[in-house]
């Protein structure tokens, strides 16, 4: 039987929404439409139906918020919640097969979106979250679409220190757990600094301390291996294994993994590795060798039962050689990682999709 792939981490935005993205500039390498039409082209090497293959097929994806212009306070006159809620409306049109002309998706694409992780004002605490999620429910229009909202994200990788440790943030995460909504955690060890991982590990200890697991059910899905410094000079495995950055990253990943409802995404590698080019096909085996020490830490800490595949499309295009090749290349790297790790077929199927279903509570 062919293995279904659930891409646990993609971003989508139509050209008409570009000005609402907090990071957008006309010169940005991602400063053009990246919607379902473009995603289908990027993933064309992998069929979307099991009848077309005896290997892997793309069952669907989980959408992650795209860092819209926003603020914790709904009343902020220049930022507020409007752009983030417009993103929910865009995803609702994808899920219902009701596109606005030019948005880059069609009715036949409606089955691909298996889950939606919108932005939410987590540092505002339970009161702000409750109000915001009620507005998300209004934007999704039907209970069937609202059930696709499987969690939220509030990026902390570009926020000042201390945000994750504020009582409102902690209480907000516990509120999400009670609503059976996961929290996607985005921190950046390489560009943001190792302090972000230290704070995240402390936050997780605080969140999980004393929670009623049956009632609170806090689930934290960690993005992109915490963006480790995969550009450390690689001459041999020992050159990495003894490096202070690797040693601290390893200890913090292991600390995060002690919480049984924390998960890790095997994603984002092309943003941290030295950039690839479009015209020269990389040596996949050497890329696997380069990241193996890091991915071994993740599998040792979380076990394959809590690790999931994600492409980070279209961000993977920037370091992966462009949209025509990057998704296929990252899929090949992950195949190599799983093979070298010696996972069973059942464990591989979990990484490719089963873990995402469990972590986010997705109904197929």
Q: What tens digit of pLDDT does each residue of 19-38 get?
A: 999 999 999 999 999 999 99
**What was the pLDDT predicted at 236?**
84
Tens digits of residue pLDDT in 105-115? 999 999 999 99
Q: Which residue has the higher pLDDT, 211 or 288?
A: 288
Query: Mean pLDDT, to the nearest integer, of 150-177?
Result: 97
Tens digits of residue pLDDT in 234-284? 888 899 999 999 999 999 999 999 999 999 999 999 999 999 999 999 999
**What was the pLDDT predicted at 54?**
87
Q: Which residue has the higher pLDDT, 364 or 134?
A: 134
Beta strands in the chain (DSSP E): 3-10, 56-64, 113-117, 151-153, 182-185, 220-222, 262-266, 307-309
Query: Residue 188 pLDDT more than 80?
Result: yes
Query: Residue 169 pLDDT more than 80?
Result: yes
Phi, psi for residue 313 in degrees, rounded to 5: -75, 140
**What was the pLDDT predicted at 217?**
85
- CA–CA distance from 345 to each of 52, 57, 348, 356 (Å)? 20, 15, 5, 16
Query: Mean pLDDT, to the nearest integer, of 204-216?
Result: 85
Phi, psi for residue 79 in degrees, rounded to 5: -125, -75
Mean pLDDT of the chain: 97
220: left (phi over 0), alpha (psi -120 to 50) or beta: beta
Among residues 350, 346, 347, 352, which one has the least CA distance to residue 330? 352
Query: Residue 336 pLDDT more than 80?
Result: yes
Query: Mean pLDDT, to the nearest integer, of 296-316?
Result: 98
Query: What percent of the chain is predicted at pLDDT more than 70?
Result: 100
Phi, psi for residue 227 in degrees, rounded to 5: 50, 65
For 253-278, b where at least 16 C-beta lie within 10 A, e where not — what string? bebbbebebbbbbbbbbbbbbeebee
pLDDT band at 212 (very low <50, low <70, confident <90, very high): confident
Query: Residue 140 pLDDT more than 90?
Result: yes
Query: Mean pLDDT, to the nearest integer, of 49-61?
Result: 94
305: DSSP letter: G
**What was the pLDDT predicted at 180?**
96
**What was the pLDDT predicted at 211?**
80
**What was the pLDDT predicted at 210?**
78
**What was the pLDDT predicted at 80?**
97
Lowest-pLDDT range of 44-48, 87-91, 213-217:
213-217
**What was the pLDDT predicted at 17?**
98
Domain boundaries, the chain: 3-360
**What was the pLDDT predicted at 142?**
97
**What was the pLDDT predicted at 215?**
74
pLDDT band at 302 (very low <50, low <70, confident <90, very high): very high
Query: Residue 7 pLDDT more than 90?
Result: yes
The yes/no answer on whether domain 3-360 falls in CATH 3.20.20.140 is yes
**What was the pLDDT predicted at 93?**
98
């Amino acid at each position: 039987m062919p293995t279904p792939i659930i891409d646990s981490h993609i971003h989508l935005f139509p050209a008409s929404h570009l000005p609402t993205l907090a990071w957008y500039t006309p010169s940005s390498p991602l400063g053009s439409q990246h919607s379902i039409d473009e995603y289908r082209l990027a993933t064309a090497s992998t069929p979307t139906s099991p009848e077309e293959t005896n290997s892997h097929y793309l069952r669907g994806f989980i959408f992650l918020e795209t860092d819209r212009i926003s603020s914790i306070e709904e009343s902020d006159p220049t930022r507020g919640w409007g752009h983030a809620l417009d993103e929910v409306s865009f995803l609702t049109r994808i899920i219902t097969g009701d596109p606005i002309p030019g948005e880059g998706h069609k009715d036949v694409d409606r089955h691909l979106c298996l889950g939606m992780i919108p932005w939410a004002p987590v540092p505002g605490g339970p009161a702000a979250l409750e109000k915001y999620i009620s507005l998300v429910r209004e934007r999704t229009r039907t209970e069937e679409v609202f059930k696709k909202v499987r969690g939220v994200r509030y990026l902390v990788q570009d926020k000042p220190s201390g945000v994750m440790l504020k009582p409102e943030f902690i209480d907000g995460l516990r509120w999400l757990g009670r609503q059976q909504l996961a929290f996607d955690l985005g921190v950046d060890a390489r560009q943001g600094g190792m302090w972000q991982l230290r704070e995240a590990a402390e936050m997780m200890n605080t969140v999980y301390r004393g929670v009623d697991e049956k009632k609170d059910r806090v689930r934290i899905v960690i993005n992109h291996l915490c963006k480790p410094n995969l550009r450390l000079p690689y001459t041999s495995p020992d050159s990495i294994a003894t490096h202070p950055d690797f040693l601290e990253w390893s200890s913090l990943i292991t600390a995060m993994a002690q919480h049984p409802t924390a998960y890790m995404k095997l994603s984002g590698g092309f943003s941290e590795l030295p950039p690839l080019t479009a015209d020269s096909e990389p040596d996949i085996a050497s890329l696997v060798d380069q990241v193996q020490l890091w991915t071994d830490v993740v599998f040792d800490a979380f076990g394959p039962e809590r690790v999931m595949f994600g492409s980070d499309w279209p961000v993977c295009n920037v370091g992966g050689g462009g949209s025509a090749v990057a998704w296929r290349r990252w899929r090949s790297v992950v195949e190599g990682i799983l093979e070298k790790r010696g996972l069973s077929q059942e464990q591989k199927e979990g990484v490719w999709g089963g873990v995402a279903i469990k972590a986010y509570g997705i109904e197929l």
